[in-house]
Structure 1
Amino acid sequence: MQGYNVLMVYNAAMDRLLLCKRRKNPYQGLSNLVGGKIETGETGQEAAYRELYEETGIPGERIKLHHVMDLTYYWQNCYVEVYAGRLKADMAVFGDENELYWSDLDQNFFDLSMFAGEGNIGHMIEQVKMRRDLLLAD
């Protein structure tokens, strides 16, 4: 079963979330969380920090990622590990794969015409809201 990760990166004030505008399918043109594939021999957490740096330029020492939840897709033979973290201090982000931007949190993240993931992004954000204190403690 192939593993993937998605990363919920909040700014230091926790009032914005880092998203990307997908340049290719699946979900071309929609906003999504950053993330990628867990490579053979990597732990999920190692892959999360690697993908974070590759896709955004954010080094591991600037954020602590928390493993929030997993989604298993048996029919697609894959699973997704969801991580969330808050930047210790705001910084510039950059990436070649997709257009990165900071979104405010008053969006309807369940809107499938704007956001990838069949509503999962909205669900993930709600999970973090319930335990926001864990990210603020870092």
Structure 2
Amino acid sequence: MQGYNVLMIFSPDMNRLLMCKRRKDPYKGLSSFVGGKIERGESGLEAAYRELAEETGIVQDNVVLQHVMDFTYYWQNCYVEVYAGRLKNDVNLQGDEHELYWSDMEQNFFDMSLFAGEGNIGHMVEQVKMNRNRLWED
């Protein structure tokens, strides 16, 4: 079964969320989280930090990732690990695979005309909001 990850990266003040506008299918033109494939021999967390650095320029010194949840898609023979992290300081984003931008937290992340994932992005954001104090101390 192939593994993938998605990364929810919050600004230091938790008022913005890093998103990417997809330039290719699936979900071309819609916004999503950054992420990618977990390579053979790599732990999920190692893959998450690698993908984050490759796609955004954000390195492990900038953020502590926490494993939040998983999705298993048996019909597609894959699973997705979801990680969240709060930046320690502002960073300069560097990436060219997809257009990177900061979204404010007032967005309707369940809007499937704007966001990929059939509502999963909204679900993931709500889980972090509900458990904010368990994830990061203000």
1:93-132, aligned counterparts within 5 Å? 93-132=93-132
- Distance in 2, matches of 1:59 and 1:126, equals 25
Query: C-alpha separation between the residues in 1 aligned to 2:39 and 2:131?
Result: 29
Provide the rounded CA distance (Å) in 2 between the counterparts of 1:21 and 1:86.
20
1:28 is matched with 28
Q: Kindly state the Cα deviation for residue 127 of structure 1 after the two structures are TM-superposed.
A: 0.5
Instruction: Give the number of equivalent residue pairs.
Output: 138
Q: How far off its partner does 1:129 sit?
A: 0.6
Cα deviation, residue 136, structure 1: 2.8
1:60 aligned partner: 60
Deviation at 1:130, TM superposition (A): 1.2
| TM-score (normalised: structure 2) | 0.98
The 3-state SS of whatever aligns with 1:65 is: strand
Matches within 5 A, 1:75-86: 75-86=75-86
Question: Percent same amino acid among aligned pairs?
Answer: 72
Could you tell me how far apart the structure 2 residues matched to 1:29 and 1:72 are?
25
TM-score (norm: length of structure 1): 0.98
Q: Is the 8 A contact 1:34 1:55 kept in 2?
A: yes
